[in-house]
Amino acid sequence: MSCLVRDLFTCQKCGVVEPRTSRLEADHIQRHLGDPKLFWELDNLQCLCKSCHAKDKQREEAQDRAIGRVGGV
């Protein structure tokens, strides 16, 4: 929730402002791969709307996996 407040409930990909938190995701910028420090690090989180998280972010991660990039970013 802290990253949603920090980002003013604004999707960091498309810029939509969404006051209904049920329509937002706290997204890991760099995949944490089970690392608890990286999982909870506020600087590694960004606010995304569900639409951007579902299509754009998931597509980026699939491309990373396809080219063998494990940690993303």
* pTM of the complete model: 0.76
Q: What's the token pair of residue 55?
A: 């299509």
For residues 66, 46, 54 and 52, what is the CA-based torsion angle, rounded to 10 degrees?
-110
pLDDT digit string, tens, across residues 7-62: 999 999 999 999 999 999 999 998 888 899 999 999 999 999 999 999 877 777 78
**Domain residue extents for the chain:** 2-66
Report how far apart, in Å, the C-alpha atoms of 64 and of each of 16, 17, 20, 42, 55 are: 26, 28, 30, 22, 14
